Chains A and B, each alone.
Chain A
């Protein structure tokens, strides 16, 4: 029962939970979302404007990744990355890559597929007339993208991109399957070491809830403020 709820186990492990665990979770979330949005935007442009031999493989990649569970993809990359490293460095044996680099690569490549769908919708939501106006002014295709389409697409899609980032923040807890010390990993290690599962898992749930809830409220307010008046 909750009567013997031990707050002290939480207080004692705060440093480990946040300085080790949450720091990993947040770094992974921020880096993977920034790199995922950049790569996702490139994929979206390649898919919309690229020649067939670029657009078709990108479409296949995005659809493939989006039909697979993240857990399966995490395992895929966990086993695949050492061989990619071997191939890139020309080493004779599979290269051991650190847990952080491996998960960062996984989440970037995984989330890029989702971000690219958001950016594709964003780019397609810009009226054709905008692009034509850009060409009429003598801009080249990259210039039209850079100065006309992408700024508006980013602005329109910012709430969705941020919502996807909150999803990513929650999804990083799945690195638990590789026994990595992210926030959830740290919580479960303390929980098992001290036999305090109830306290640690409830505390983890409360922290995830507060962060995600606060961020989603911010996104909602942002959404109202940045809407382009039409």
Chain B
């Protein structure tokens, strides 16, 4: 191999003037985390709304929910981000378009918004599946007790459905963290983008990418451990037989 290894590169100053190369990567990691958490909030709010909508006895509601899910699931994330970043400012009224274009940190907000909506369609499918996995008698029992539909969802269906879908939701959150790297195409300086920058400045390709790989693995493990803990905390004894 004609490659010059230099693992001390991380302690050398980066040309961006904001510290060492390690600092550069950690700034990227921080952006990845912040974007993922905000996008996850959007994904949960929209995903639960659309998921519940698809289980309600309303034809129009179900139709809207299906259209929403199909729209966000059948267009690649990269294309969706381009639509929000490049196309949206052009097709809204001129003043709103100007405001969008002049927004500072536009890649940051576009990434949160785009990733959030993209992930919300996947969350919606899980929420719907979780609610539909419950015995139909649960809903009937709620009605028989005199609960309104909203109360049945709030006190009977959702608390159980959420526990059922916690493992797939964990996977969706992990996917969201990984997908945030796609936002480097609209100029978001997250972990993968910072790794690319380090590689271009220093020519230490493999050190940079090894470090990014380790950071992603650690982030992954923290989320998995945290979600396992949450699963155990909220578990209702005897509810899921196979655990």
A212 to chain B: closest CB distance in Å? 4
Q: Which residues of A line the B interface, CB within 8 A?
A: 1-2, 64, 67-72, 75-76, 79-80, 83, 86-87, 92-94, 170-171, 173-174, 176-177, 184, 188, 191, 197-198, 201-202, 204-205, 208-209, 212-213, 216
Contact B74 A69 (CB under 8 A): no
B210 to chain A: closest CB distance in Å? 9
A176: which B residues are within 8 A, CB to CB?
78, 185
Could you count the A-B residue pairs with CB atoms below 8 Å apart for me: how many are there?
A: 111
Give the contacts of B26-83 with A (CB-CB under 8 A): 70-71, 73-80, 82-83
**Which residue from A68, A197, A205 sits with its C-beta under 8 Å from B178?**
A68
* B172: Cβ under 8 A from any A Cβ: no
**Which residue from B71, B75, B86, B185 sits with its C-beta under 8 Å from A177?**
B185
Contact with A along B204-243 (1 / 0, CB 8 A): 0110010011001100100000000000000000000000
User: Can you list 9 A-B pairs with a CB-CB distance of less than 8 A?
Assistant: A1-B94, A2-B91, A72-B181, A79-B205, A170-B75, A176-B78, A184-B78, A197-B82, A204-B79
Contact B75 A72 (CB under 8 A): no
A54 to chain B: closest CB distance in Å? 22
Contact A83 B3 (CB under 8 A): yes
What CA separation (Å) do A83 and B3 show in the bound complex? 9
State the 4 A-B residue pairs at the shortest beta-carbon distance, nearest first: A69-B181, A212-B74, A170-B76, A69-B178
On whether A72 and B185 interact (CB within 8 A), knowing A64-B217, A93-B2, the answer reads no
- Name the residue on B nearest A2 (C-beta): B91
* B170: Cβ under 8 A from any A Cβ: no
Q: Which residues of B line the A interface, CB within 8 A?
A: 1-3, 70-71, 73-80, 82-83, 86-87, 90-91, 93-94, 174, 177-182, 184-185, 192, 195-196, 199, 205-206, 209, 212-213, 216-217, 220
What CA separation (Å) do A205 and B121 show in the bound complex? 16
Contact A209 B212 (CB under 8 A): no
Contact A198 B91 (CB under 8 A): yes
Contact B70 A69 (CB under 8 A): no
- Name the residue on B nearest A171 (C-beta): B76
A29 to chain B: closest CB distance in Å? 12
Contact B76 A198 (CB under 8 A): no
A75: which B residues are within 8 A, CB to CB?
192, 195-196, 209
**Which residue from B79, B86, B196, B216 sits with its C-beta under 8 Å from A69?**
B216
A76: which B residues are within 8 A, CB to CB?
209, 213
- Name the residue on A nearest B174 (C-beta): A67
Among A1, A70, A201, A202: residue with most chain B CB under 10 A: A201
- Name the residue on A nearest B221 (C-beta): A67
Contact A197 B86 (CB under 8 A): yes
A35 to chain B: closest CB distance in Å? 21
**Which residue from A83, A205, A213 sits with its C-beta under 8 Å from B79?**
A205
Contact A174 B78 (CB under 8 A): yes
On whether A174 and B182 interact (CB within 8 A), knowing A72-B192, A83-B3, the answer reads yes
What CA separation (Å) do A71 and B174 show in the bound complex? 15
A213: which B residues are within 8 A, CB to CB?
70, 74
Contact B1 A208 (CB under 8 A): no
Contact A173 B87 (CB under 8 A): no
Contact B179 A184 (CB under 8 A): no
